[in-house]
Structure 1
């Protein structure tokens, strides 16, 4: 897994966390859900990259 992929996944997760927090503060359930979904997407990408790394070794 390249450093670029790790950085993108981390940035995506942070952005999702920010969206979720903003949704909670503004009582916007849709934004909160989008944030949780974005974090889950980043976690899945990270898991996929980890599997690819494990197969390469």
Structure 2
């Protein structure tokens, strides 16, 4: 997993967390759900990249 991929996934996860918190603060369930989804997708991407790295060793 390249450093660029790690940074991109971390940024996506942070963006998702921010959206989820904003949605929660404003009682916007759609925005909250969207943020949680983005956060989950980024976390899955990170896990997949880590698994690939583990098999490369």
Question: The TM-score by the shorter chain falls in which range?
Answer: over 0.9
Shift of 1:15: 0.1
How many equivalent pairs are there?
A: 57
Q: Which runs of 4+ in 1 moved over 6 A?
A: none
Output one character per residue of 1:16-52: Cα deviation in whole Å (capped at 9) or x when no partner: 0000011011110000000100010001000100011
Normalised to the residue count of structure 2, the TM-score between the two structures is 0.97
Unaligned runs of 5+ in 1: none
Question: Alpha carbon RMSD of aligned pairs, Å?
Answer: 0.4
Query: Could you list the runs of 5+ residues in structure 2 that have no partner in the other structure?
Result: none
TM-score by length of 1: 0.97
| Structural mapping, 1:15-54, within 5 Å | 15-54=15-54
